[in-house]
Amino acid sequence: MEKLVKLLKAVIRWLKYVREPVLVHRPPSDDFMARQMSQMRVTQEDGTVPTSYPPKPIQEEKTMQISISSGHGLRVRGAAGILDEVKEARRVTDRVAEILRANGHAVNVFHDDSSTTVAQNINWLVAQHNRSDRDLDVSVHFNAFQPTDGPMGTEVLHRTGDGVAAGAAARVTGAMARAGGFRARAVQPRDNLGFLLNCQQTPILLEVCFVDSRADADLYNQNFEAICQGIAGALVG
């Protein structure tokens, strides 16, 4: 008899256990919290009732000011091969500026249409950059070496000792390599370029790809938009 009672008790315990609803802890829904908080007259600084809990932080958009110029000039031509450096540097500069502006950033664009010597050209570009309001100085170039069908790659130059520029250079190199399918060349300081030496706001100089490499030129033509999107994203990233 005693055994039977024990057994019955055990069965009852088991039945209770299996019938017990499983409690799952869920955070309250946004609607529920909004109702609760409006009843509690919880208001935010601007007097409105938060519609979610916890109230979503107001995200401050990070906007940047960027000065960007194309290398060389209309009358001081750069490298020419399968691609023409001045023509393509202007295309990239203008498209990157458009993308940045569409994303709320302030952009100053410079193309040199008047200089007739290399010295005039560098001085004019540096002066435009240094008198503009900006967080970053960017110069767009294309590289050249010798005619080849093979891939050469993309790189970004900065001056020695500028860690911020080195970081931006690494980001932009990676972005161009990914977007264009280019080989990423090592990010290296260069201290013999007028633009990098004289611009005062974290100057970086892009060498998008090689104008005399068939592989680079094809990749550039196929991936132009992605490359510009990649550059724009990396400049403000």
Which residues make up the interface to Zn ion (CB under 5 A)?
71, 78, 141
Phi/psi of residue 69, nearest 5 degrees: -135, 155
Q: How far is the CB of 219 from Zn ion (least distance, A)?
A: 19
Smaller CB distance to Zn ion: residue 105 or 159?
159
Looking at 40-152, list the stretches that DSSP marks H as alpha helix, in order from N- to C-terminal side. Answer: 85-102, 118-130
In order of 85, 119, 135, 158, the CA distances from 164 in angstroms are 27, 27, 11, 9
3-state secondary structure of 48: coil
Smaller CB distance to Zn ion: residue 105 or 124?
124
Smaller CB distance to Zn ion: residue 175 or 205?
205
Smaller CB distance to Zn ion: residue 70 or 201?
70
- What's the one-letter identity of residue 187? V
Looking at the chain, list the stretches that DSSP marks H as alpha helix, in order from N- to C-terminal side. Answer: 2-19, 30-39, 85-102, 118-130, 163-180, 194-198, 214-222, 224-236
Smaller CB distance to Zn ion: residue 37 or 204?
204
Q: How far is the CB of 72 from Zn ion (least distance, A)?
A: 6
Looking at 140-223, list the stretches that DSSP marks H as alpha helix, in order from N- to C-terminal side. Answer: 163-180, 194-198, 214-222
| Closest residue to Zn ion in the complex (CB) | 141
Query: Terminal CA-to-CA distance of the chain, rounded, Å?
Result: 78
Smaller CB distance to Zn ion: residue 141 or 159?
141
Count CB atoms within 10 A of the CB of residue 120: 15
Q: Which residue has the tokens 């502006």?
A: 101
Q: How far is the CB of 206 from Zn ion (least distance, A)?
A: 10
User: Closest Cα partner for 108 from 142, 131, 78?
Assistant: 131
Smaller CB distance to Zn ion: residue 71 or 181?
71
On whether the CB atoms of residues 234 and 174 are closer than 8 A, the answer is yes
